[in-house]
Amino acid sequence: MRIESFDPRARVTFYVCLTTAVLVVNDLRVLAGLALLGIGALLFARVPWERMKRIWLGAAIFIALITALNLLFRSPVEAAQQALRAVAMAAASLAVVLTFDPADLGITFRRMGFPDRFAFALDLTARFVPTLIRDFQITIDAQRARGYELESRDRSLKGMLTVGRRFVPLIVPVVVRAVLDAEDRANAMDLRAFGTGPRTWLQTLHLRPRDYVLVAASFALLAGGIAARLLLG
């Protein structure tokens, strides 16, 4: 059995309940349990390491940074809390996001009660992430062909600010293009009668017994988290 075999609504419910519980709970033992649950979900998702190693590298830097800041300015307990929270949320996010079929995004939220427009906006977001990445790569190439180099050997604050400014030739073309293209995309949607009335969604979703079990377990997890917060502080 794979994580994808659960209905996407059940997976989203699990994710929301787990992350809410992680944010509510302060007790280190419970947080550790939730972190293990997140890692368990990720293992269950069987996402290839190659696909997520760069994301984990970024997450590890972030976790190390917030842990260090908490150690410096707060306490070791708070540092451990934040680190466990970050691990649990990162693992659960990867487990759900990397196994989610983008074509199911809209219908999932529509069937969870969100309006057509909101649900389709999520579909559109999934559709345009690869386009944005491609446009960004083309812009990087176009500016490098004009002798542009991002690297700055100056590691001082001023050097970092210089690097920040040097992103402008990369960011502006991508943003301007996205804004200009949005008009064409809105026109394309208008021309196919989007938003003129109630729409049919082609995909169908079916909740099976295992999905009900996962949803019930997710709410139990959330209730447990709230109870832990109330009882253990």
Partner 1 sequence: MAINITGLSYTYANRAAPALRDVTLDFRPGEVTLVVGRSGSGKTTLIRCINGLIPHSYKNGTLHGEIRCFDQSTAGLSLAQLARRVGTVMQDPDKQIVASRVLNEIAFGLENIGLPRERIVARVHEVARQLRIEHLLDRDTHTLSGGEQQKVVIAATLAMQPRALLLDEPLASLDLPSARTALALFRRLADEGIAVVLVEHRVAEALRVAPERCVALHDGSVAFDGDTAGFRAWLDARHKTQDDGASPVSRPASSVNSASLLSFYDVHFAYPGASGEQLGGVSFDVREGDVIALMGPNGAGKSTLCKMAIGLLRPARGRVIVAGEDAARLTVAQLARKVGYVFQNPAAMLFANTLREELSFGPRNVGMPEDRMREAIADALETVGLSHLSLDQSPFGLSFGQQKRVAVAGVLAMQPRVLILDEPTAGLDDGAAEDLLCRLLRAARGPQAIVMVTHDLALARRFANRVVLMAGGRIVADGPPRDTLENDEAMRRAGLIAAEPLASG
Decide whether 62 or 118 has the Cβ nearer to partner 1: 118
Decide whether 23 or 103 has the Cβ nearer to partner 1: 103
Please, what is the minimum distance in Å from the beta carbon of residue 4 to partner 1?
16
- DSSP structural state of residue 192: T
Structure tokens at 193: 């009668």
Please, what is the minimum distance in Å from the beta carbon of residue 54 to partner 1?
14
Please, what is the minimum distance in Å from the beta carbon of residue 137 to partner 1?
10
Q: How far is CA 42 from the centre of its chain?
A: 14
**What is the contact mask toward partner 1 in residues 146 to 175, using x (rule: CB under 8 A)?**
xxxx------------------xxxxxx--
Decide whether 127 or 229 has the Cβ nearer to partner 1: 127
Please, what is the minimum distance in Å from the beta carbon of residue 98 to partner 1?
15
Decide whether 1 or 168 has the Cβ nearer to partner 1: 168
Which of 1, 72, 157, 193 is the binder for partner 1 (CB under 8 A)?
193
**Residue 229 binding partner 1, by CB under 8 A:** no
**What is the contact mask toward partner 1 in residues 112 to 151, using x (rule: CB under 8 A)?**
-----------xx-xx--xx--xx--xx-xxxxxxxxx--
Please, what is the minimum distance in Å from the beta carbon of residue 150 to partner 1?
11
The values of phi and psi at residue 93, to 5°, are -60, -45
Contact residues toward partner 1 (CB under 8 A) are: 102-103, 105, 123-124, 126-127, 130-131, 134-135, 138-139, 141-149, 168-173, 176-177, 180-181, 184-204
